[in-house]
Amino acid sequence: MNEFFQFSLEHSDNSTSARVGSFSTPHGNIQTPTFMPVGTHATVKALTSEQLESLEAQVVLANTYHLYLRPGAELIQRAGGLHRFMNWKHPILTDSGGFQIFSLADTLKLDDGGVSFRSIIDGSQHRWSPEDNMRVQNQLGADIIMQLDQCPPYPAEHAFVQTAVQRSADWARRCLAAHQNPKQTLFAIVQGGLFTDLRKESIKRLLDVDETSLLRAKRFGGFGIGGYSVGEPHDLMYESLATIITALPANRPRYLMGVGNPTSLIKAVALGVDLFDCVLPTRTARMGSAFSSEGRLNLRNARFAEDLDPLDAHCNCPTCQSYSRAYLRHLIMSKEILASTLLSIHNLHYLIDLMRQVRQAAAEDRLAAFIQEWDNSEAAQDF
């Protein structure tokens, strides 16, 4: 295994399948479970790196597809890699960009060799093989990089999803062979939609790749779980996750991709997931909505126009400590940029702090009671 990346399982909650762990990287340890803010274009929208640090964000994401198109991986490499380019001293994860490419299905051509696609910026044609994708992510220099995979939509026919599972496993093999930087670790991605047999097939194929790669000189550092949160009901996601999560290795991180609903985070941790990411907290902030102990608050609502109370009386984030609901609504209605900043600070703090509470509950073998309390709370009714 890679000396720079070690996952230590510190405790297993005795009331659920939750895990408390630590994942070492060249830019610091990641305490799990945790939520990772999304910085698609090498920035978490509306926030500085210093503000993210003050929120105790442990790791942020950037997106290979968008950064490849602009400003270009070569420029970022010349700048010293993503960490220097965006002034972030802590761990970074880059998504391969596969989800973004496949969400633009009308502009791509897909085959076993790779994917051809048009730029959303200028319409130019591009071609990526798994090897090309690894080259780009090696240039970007994130600590954790993701394989190029095929993410099927929901709903999709069994035969279509099976092809995506087979192709993704083959691409995982090629990505692992092409990946060259020992200071980066590669995560494989499990696909299979809501088909239990295909999820299990995907895991088996990836484990076969992992166990036979170059006499174990190179292994996957962890496993992403993709293809959820693409339109399926939450209950079906939990049911599907529960049937496959234990098939993944216990000695490596499990990363549920694109999930950021508070209830989903808590319940997925209870099933054994370690890492999460989603644009939800910052996107809803830009729309004028805030997570809170009362549920989701739409601050455009007229009832907040003269409300001088804090955004959330139970929150100690900088926004709640300094600004009223009336002021925040005024910023939103005036289309002031500061509204996005203050609400993003709050929403990210909310999720990061929620995961801190979940981690503590799991460490003390009381996560089941925590979940029951959450399910009965006012906040849970909106999530």
8 A C-beta contact, residue 192 and residue 165: yes
CA-CA-CA-CA torsion for 324, 329, 331, 333, nearest 10 degrees?
-170
8 A C-beta contact, residue 315 and residue 346: yes
Q: Where in the chain is the domain with CATH 3.20.20.105?
A: 7-278
Q: In which residue ranges of the chain is pLDDT below 70?
A: 1, 105, 214-217
**Active-site residue, 13 included:** no
Sign of the alpha-carbon torsion through 215, 26, 95, 290: positive
What pLDDT, on a 0 to 100 scale, did the predictor assign at position 251? Answer: 96
Selection from 130, 103, 136 nearest residue 115 by Cα? 130
Angle at the Cα of 336 from the Cα atoms of 330 and 340, rounded to 5 degrees: 95
Q: For the chain, give me the number of helices (H) and strands (E)?
A: 15, 16
Tell me the per-residue pLDDT of 151-204, one tens digit each, with 9 for 90 and over.
998 999 999 999 999 999 999 999 999 999 999 999 999 999 999 999 999 999
Catalytic residue chosen out of the listed positions 149, 210, 277, 312: 277
Other CB atoms within 10 A of residue 215 CB: 6
What pLDDT, on a 0 to 100 scale, did the predictor assign at position 382? Answer: 84
Encoded amino acid at 43, one letter:
T
Catalytic residue chosen out of the listed positions 13, 95, 274, 312: 95
Region for 38 from its dihedrals, namely left if φ exceeds 0, alpha if ψ lies in -120 to 50, beta otherwise: beta
What pLDDT, on a 0 to 100 scale, did the predictor assign at position 309? Answer: 98
**Active-site residue, 95 included:** yes
What pLDDT, on a 0 to 100 scale, did the predictor assign at position 1? Answer: 61
Q: What is the CATH number of domain 7-278?
A: 3.20.20.105
What pLDDT, on a 0 to 100 scale, did the predictor assign at position 97? Answer: 87
Tell me the per-residue pLDDT of 274-312, one tens digit each, with 9 for 90 and over.
999 999 999 999 999 999 999 999 999 999 999 999 999
What pLDDT, on a 0 to 100 scale, did the predictor assign at position 217? Answer: 62
